[in-house]
Amino acid sequence: MQNLIRIGIVGYGNLGRGVETSIQKNPDLELVGIFTRRAPESVSPCFGDTKVFHMDDLNDFQDKIDVLILCGGSKDDLPKQTPELASKFNTVDSFDTHARIPEFFDAVDAPAKANNKTAMISIGWDPGMFSINRLFGEALLPDGETYTFWGKGLSQGHSDAIRRVEGVKAGVQYTIPSTDAIEKVRSGVRPVLTTKEKHTRECYVVLEDGADAEAVKHAIVTMPDYFADYNTTVNFIDEATLRAEHNTMPHGGFVIRSGNSSDAHNQVIEFSLKLDSNPEFTASVLVAYARATYRLNQMGQFGAKTAFDVAPGLLSSKSPEQLRKEIL
């Protein structure tokens, strides 16, 4: 029996709870504890034997944790947290602001490399599993087009972004894919589709008392990276409606590559997800990549890494021999 891989969780919202839950499903991993900026005794973990510590004590755990899974948000938490922590720990995060990944990569790569740590960034399903499938699509069928559709589903990143707008008390955002557009892509033609033609974004927002609805709406629909390029609708609802009708976090989507291997032959590659819980699935991906991160670090592969740098076999708890025998 090899040693268990020891995991720490930084941040304890939906994603952190998902990671805690996922570790229970992976017998080769061991949860050392949750690290929070809140008072540890105020945090109620999902499992009775999970330990909770204050972030200030994290440095004492450098020899007791193999990989830290960072469960903060991409807008305010990770840009500061990952570069700092990657100098002391191997890390995995779900940084998902696509446009800023190159600068984030550089900010994380230097401290990780300087300290022989491995920092796996932008893990989850998009960026993450969807990115891998976009890469497979264009590598296998260079003469083709790739289409990514999201939803129907609640987007954590976009909901967080709404909630950070001044005057917003609570809110959720759903991304809706166009069925017509998906069918057109699957048929093998290669339609030109703008982002707006592929999806709409629907926001359900509870205002703070006295907030200016028009100002809130404007702040949301013009927000760069998140909403500005989309057809976004903002619906104002009361808190009871939000609790009753918007209390689950489903998501999903499709990555479709339509391409020609020759003039005569079209080929279609499709990857899709149908998720009951977006944060729990993202957490499951983070946990599998924590295993790979530990292994890459053991192999001397230091610095920032992404899903593109991880051979599939490193994600599995099974040995290469077992994988070749059982599922190749």
What minimum distance in Å lies between the beta carbon of 70 and its own copies? 17
- Give CA angle at 293 (287, 297), nearest 5°: 155
What minimum distance in Å lies between the beta carbon of 198 and its own copies? 16
What minimum distance in Å lies between the beta carbon of 184 and its own copies? 14
Take residue 26 and report the two structure tokens written for it.
């992976």
Backbone angles phi, psi at 273, to 5 degrees: -130, 140
End-to-end CA gap in the chain: 24
Tell me which residues touch its own copies (CB under 8 A). 18, 21-22, 25-26, 98, 101-102, 105, 122, 127, 129, 131-136, 138-143, 146, 186, 188, 261-262, 264-277, 280-281, 283-285, 288, 291, 306-313, 315-317, 320-321, 323-325, 327-328
Nearer to its own copies, 24 or 116 (CB): 24
Residue 223, C-beta contacts closer than 8 angstroms, at least 6 positions apart:
161, 165
What minimum distance in Å lies between the beta carbon of 93 and its own copies? 13
What minimum distance in Å lies between the beta carbon of 157 and its own copies? 15
CA 174/CA 63 separation, integer angstroms: 42
CA 268/CA 144 separation, integer angstroms: 9
Nearer to its own copies, 43 or 269 (CB): 269
Quick check: 35 and 59 in contact, CB under 8 A?
Answer: no
3-state secondary structure of 277: coil
Which residues are 105's β-sheet partners? none
